[in-house]
C-alpha cells in the first residue's frame, strides 16, 4: 500500500527527482567544513520560531489595551506559556547569532566568490529580514522598554535626507509610536516578513543546490582533489548531532533564563532610563551614540546613518567588490572582516557598560 | 515496530501540547478587551513579571523534562555516532571498490 501510494504520488508530482538529487549530492570535506553546519542550524531555529510563533498567536492580542495583558496572560495563566515565549525569544537570538556567524564565515573564507555572488546577496537579504523580525517582535510585549526602544529605532531613518521622514511615518503609521504602530508591527511580524523570508529562503536554498558547496580558495587554486562525503545519509547524520545539541542548549537556556515582562507601556510617560535595543543592534546603537552632533556643516546623525547605509550597500555587493579574492585586494578585505568583528564586539561591550 | 514508535511519539506530542490549547473556550481577541480574568488584572498591577514555573508540580515537571531531554539527547547522539561510523565505512568501501575498477 505504502509503495503504491508513493508510486502514485511520484507519477503525479515527480518528487523522487528531489530524493535522487539529495542522494547524489556530495559535501566537500576540509578544515573549514565545520562552517557548513551553521546554515542548517539557522533553519532549525527558524522552524522552532515558526512553531512557537503559531502557539503564541493563539493568545496574543495586538491592541493597545490587550497586548501587554495578553503577554502577561501567556506567562502566568497559559500552561507552559512562559516556556513557549522564552523558547521563541531565545531561538530568535540564536538564529540571528548564527546568521551573523554564517555570513562572517563566508566573508572570511571568501565562499561568495564566482559563481556564488547571488547566493551571498540572498543571504544578506535574509539577514535583514531576520533583523526586521527581531525589531518588530521587540515591540509586541508593549512594555516601557520596548516602546522607548521602538521610538528610538523608528526615529533613526528620519536622518536620511529626502525620504527619511516618510520612512519613519511609514514604520510608525503616523507621527509617533502608537497603537497603530503596534498593529503595523504585528502585521509585519506575522505575515509580511514570513512571506518575504520564505520567498528569499527558497531562492537561497535553490542557489546553494545549484552551485554546490564552495571549497577553500587555496584548494581551488591548486586544483586539489577534495575528499567528499555523501549528503545523505553521512552528512545529514552529522547535522542531526548538531541539531540535537543546539535544541538541548536552547531549551535549557529558555527554562533557566526566561525573558521578563515590564508593566504596560504608557504613551504619556517619560522614557525610562537605560533604553537599549536587542543585543544584535547594540553596536549600531553605540556607534550612533558616540557620533558628534555636528561634523563641519553636516548633522552628525545624518552622517552616521549615511555611513551605515553605505556600509550595508558595500556588504551587499561584497562579492562584486572582492572580485580578486586571491590577490592583495582580497587579503585587505579579509582584514576588514576581522576588524569589523572586533569593532562590533567592542561597541557591544561598551554599550553594555 | 517503527510505525508503532511513530504513533507513540505523536501521541506523546499531542498530550504534551494539548493543555496549551485547552485553557478556556474564549477567543484570544476577547481576552484583552473584555474578559480579563482576576489573575490578569492582578498581574497588570504588578511592576514586572518574572516568569517561571507556576506551582511545585510544574516546577518538578520542568526539571524532570530537562534531565530526560539531555539523557535522550546523549543516547541519540551515541546512536548517531555509531550510524555515522557505519555509513562512513560503507562509503569508503564503495570508494575503494570504484578505484579498483
Identify the pLDDT of residue A85: 95
The verdict on B80 touching A (C-beta cutoff 8 Å) is: yes
The residue-averaged pLDDT of A107-112 equals 93
pLDDT of A77 above 80: yes
Highest-scoring range by mean pLDDT, A46-55, A69-78, A211-220, A266-275: A46-55
Mutate which: B15, B21, B51, vs A, most A CBs within 10 A: B51
Residue A261 in 3-state DSSP? strand
The tens digit of pLDDT for each residue in A121-131 reads 999 999 999 99
The grid cell for B49 is 513579571
Q: Which of B33, B43, B80 sits opposite A241 (nearest CB)?
A: B80
pLDDT of B30 above 60: no
Identify the pLDDT of residue B29: 43
Of A194-203, A213-222, B40-49, the poorest mean pLDDT is in B40-49
Identify the pLDDT of residue B16: 61
Contact A217, A325 (CB under 8 A): yes
The answer to whether the Cβ–Cβ distance between A260 and B51 falls below 8 Å is: yes
Contact A201, A39 (CB under 8 A): no
Identify the pLDDT of residue A120: 96
pLDDT of A58 above 50: yes
Q: Which of A66, A72, A244 sits opposite B49 (nearest CB)?
A: A72
User: Cα–Cα distance between A300 and B6 in angstroms, integer?
Assistant: 61
The tens digit of pLDDT for each residue in A309-336 reads 999 999 999 999 998 888 899 999 999 9
**Which residues have C-beta within 8 Å of that of residue A344, sequence separation ≥ 6?**
A283
CA distances from B81 to A153, A238, A239, B91 (A): 46, 8, 11, 15
What's the gap between Cα A67 and its chain centre? 24
Q: Which of B28, B37, B76 sits opposite A59 (nearest CB)?
A: B28
Report which of A11, A353, A301, A62 is spatially closest to residue A185, judged by C-alpha positions.
Answer: A62
CA distances from A347 to A273, A280, A282, A299, A334 (A): 19, 11, 7, 22, 20
User: What residue spans define the domains of chain B?
Assistant: 1-49, 56-101
Give the global pTM. Answer: 0.85
Tell me the pLDDT band of B21, cut-offs 50, 70 and 90.
low
Report which of A9, A40, A110, A67 is spatially closest to residue A320, judged by C-alpha positions.
Answer: A110
pLDDT of B95 above 90: no
User: Cα–Cα distance between B72 and A263 in angstroms, integer?
Assistant: 39
Identify the pLDDT of residue A274: 73
Map out the domains of chain A with their CATH numbers: 27-275 (1.20.810.10)
Tell me the pLDDT band of A87, cut-offs 50, 70 and 90.
very high
Residue whose C-alpha cell is 552529522: A238
CA distances from A24 to A168, A212, A216, A289 (A): 49, 12, 22, 52
Q: A78 exposed, middle or buried (CB, 10 Å; 0-12, 13-18, 19+)? A: buried
ipTM associated with this complex: 0.84
The mean pLDDT of chain A is 91
In SS3 terms, A71-137 reads as: HHHHHHCCCCHHHHHHHHHHHHHHHHHHHHHHHHHHHHHCCCCCCCHHHHHHHHHHHHHHHHHHHHH
What's the gap between Cα B28 and its chain centre? 24
The answer to whether the Cβ–Cβ distance between A76 and B58 falls below 8 Å is: no
**Which residues have C-beta within 8 Å of that of residue A155, sequence separation ≥ 6?**
A168
The residue-averaged pLDDT of B76-94 equals 93
**Whole-number CA gyration radius for chain A:** 23
Of A240-249, A256-265, B51-60, the poorest mean pLDDT is in B51-60
The answer to whether the Cβ–Cβ distance between B69 and A251 falls below 8 Å is: yes
Identify the pLDDT of residue B15: 64
Tell me the pLDDT band of A23, cut-offs 50, 70 and 90.
confident
**Which residues have C-beta within 8 Å of that of residue A157, sequence separation ≥ 6?**
A164, A167, A168, A171, A305
Of A171-175, A242-246, A274-278, A321-325, the poorest mean pLDDT is in A274-278
Q: Which of B19, B20, B31 sits opposite A73 (nearest CB)?
A: B31
The tens digit of pLDDT for each residue in A12-22 reads 999 899 888 88
The residue-averaged pLDDT of A44-50 equals 96
Contact A157, A164 (CB under 8 A): yes
Closest residue, chain B, to A261 (C-alpha):
B49
Identify the pLDDT of residue B19: 58
The answer to whether the Cβ–Cβ distance between B70 and A73 falls below 8 Å is: no
The mean pLDDT of chain B is 73
Closest residue, chain B, to A230 (C-alpha):
B91
The grid cell for B82 is 555509531
Q: A69 exposed, middle or buried (CB, 10 Å; 0-12, 13-18, 19+)? A: buried
The grid cell for A142 is 508593549
The tens digit of pLDDT for each residue in A299-311 reads 888 888 899 999 9
Identify the pLDDT of residue B32: 46
Identify the pLDDT of residue B50: 82
Report which of A259, A261, A130, A147 is spatially closest to residue A188, judged by C-alpha positions.
Answer: A130
pLDDT of B37 above 90: no
Q: Which residues of B touch A78 (CB under 8 A)?
A: 20, 23
Q: Which residues of A touch B89 (CB under 8 A)?
A: none
Identify the pLDDT of residue A276: 82
Q: A25 exposed, middle or buried (CB, 10 Å; 0-12, 13-18, 19+)? A: middle
pLDDT of B45 above 60: no
Torsion sign across C-alpha atoms A150, A153, A156, A162: negative
Closest residue, chain B, to A260 (C-alpha):
B50
The answer to whether the Cβ–Cβ distance between A68 and B46 falls below 8 Å is: no
The answer to whether the Cβ–Cβ distance between A61 and B28 falls below 8 Å is: yes
Alpha-carbon gap: B69 to the closest alpha carbon of chain A (Å): 7
E strand spans, chain B: 48-49
pLDDT of A341 above 80: yes
Amino acid at each position: 500500500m505504502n509503495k503504491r501510494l508513493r508510486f502514485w504520488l511520484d507519477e503525479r508530482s515527480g518528487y523522487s527527482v528531489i530524493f535522487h538529487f539529495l542522494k547524489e549530492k556530495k559535501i566537500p570535506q576540509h578544515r573549514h567544513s565545520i562552517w557548513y553546519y551553521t546554515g542548517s542550524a539557522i533553519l532549525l531555529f527558524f522552524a522552532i520560531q515558526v512553531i512557537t510563533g503559531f502557539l503564541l498567536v493563539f493568545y496574543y492580542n495586538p491592541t493597545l489595551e490587550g497586548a501587554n495583558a495578553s503577554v502577561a496572560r501567556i506567562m502566568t495563566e497559559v500552561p507552559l506559556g512562559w516556556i513557549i515565549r522564552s523558547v521563541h525569544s531565545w531561538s530568535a537570538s540564536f538564529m540571528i547569532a548564527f546568521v551573523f556567524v554564517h555570513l562572517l564565515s563566508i566573508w572570511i573564507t571568501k565562499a561568495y566568490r564566482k559563481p556564488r555572488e547571488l547566493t551571498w546577496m540572498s543571504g544578506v537579504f535574509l539577514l535583514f529580514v531576520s533583523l526586521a523580525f527581531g525589531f518588530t517582535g521587540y515591540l509586541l510585549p508593549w512594555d516601557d522598554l520596548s516602546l522607548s526602544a521602538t521610538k528610538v529605532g523608528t526615529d533613526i531613518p528620519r536622518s536620511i535626507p529626502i525620504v527619511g521622514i516618510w520612512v519613519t511615518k511609514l514604520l510608525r503609521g503616523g507621527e509617533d509610536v502608537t497603537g497603530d504602530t503596534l498593529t503595523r508591527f504585528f502585521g509585519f511580524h506575522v505575515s509580511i516578513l514570513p512571506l518575504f523570508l520564505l520567498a528569499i529562503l527558497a531562492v537561497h536554498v535553490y542557489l546553494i543546490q545549484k552551485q554546490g558547496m564552495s571549497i577553500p580558495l587555496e584548494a581551488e587554486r591548486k586544483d586539489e582533489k577534495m575528499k567528499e562525503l555523501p549528503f545523505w545519509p553521512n552528512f545529514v547524520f552529522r547535522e542531526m548531532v548538531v541539531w540535537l545539541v543546539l535544541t538541548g542548549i536552547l531549551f535549557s537556556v529558555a527554562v533557566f533564563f526566561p525573558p521578563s515582562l515590564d508593566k504596560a507601556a504608557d504613551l504619556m510617560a517619560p522614557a525610562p532610563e537605560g533604553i537599549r535595543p536587542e543585543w544584535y543592534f547594540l553596536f549600531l546603537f553605540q556607534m550612533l551614540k558616540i557620533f558628534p552632533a555636528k561634523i563641519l556643516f553636516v548633522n552628525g546623525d545624518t552622517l552616521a546613518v549615511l555611513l551605515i547605509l553605505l556600509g550595508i550597500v558595500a556588504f551587499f555587493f561584497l562579492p562584486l567588490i572582492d572580485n580578486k579574492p586571491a590577490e592583495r585586494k582580497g587579503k585587505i578585505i579579509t582584514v576588514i572582516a576581522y576588524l569589523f568583528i572586533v569593532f562590533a564586539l567592542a561597541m557591544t561591550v561598551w554599550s553594555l557598560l | 515496530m517503527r510505525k508503532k514508535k511513530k504513533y507513540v511519539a505523536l501521541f506523546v506530542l499531542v498530550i504534551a501540547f494539548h493543555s496549551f490549547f485547552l485553557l478556556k473556550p474564549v477567543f484570544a481577541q476577547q481576552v484583552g478587551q473584555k474578559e480579563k480574568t482576576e489573575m490578569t488584572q492582578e498581574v497588570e498591577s504588578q511592576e514586572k513579571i518574572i516568569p517561571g514555573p507556576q506551582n511545585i508540580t510544574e516546577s518538578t515537571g520542568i526539571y524532570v523534562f530537562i534531565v530526560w531531554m539531555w539523557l535522550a539527547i546523549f543516547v541519540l547522539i551515541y546512536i548517531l555516532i555509531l550510524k555515522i561510523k557505519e555509513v562512513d565505512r560503507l562509503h569508503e568501501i564503495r570508494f575503494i571498490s570504484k578505484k579498483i575498477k
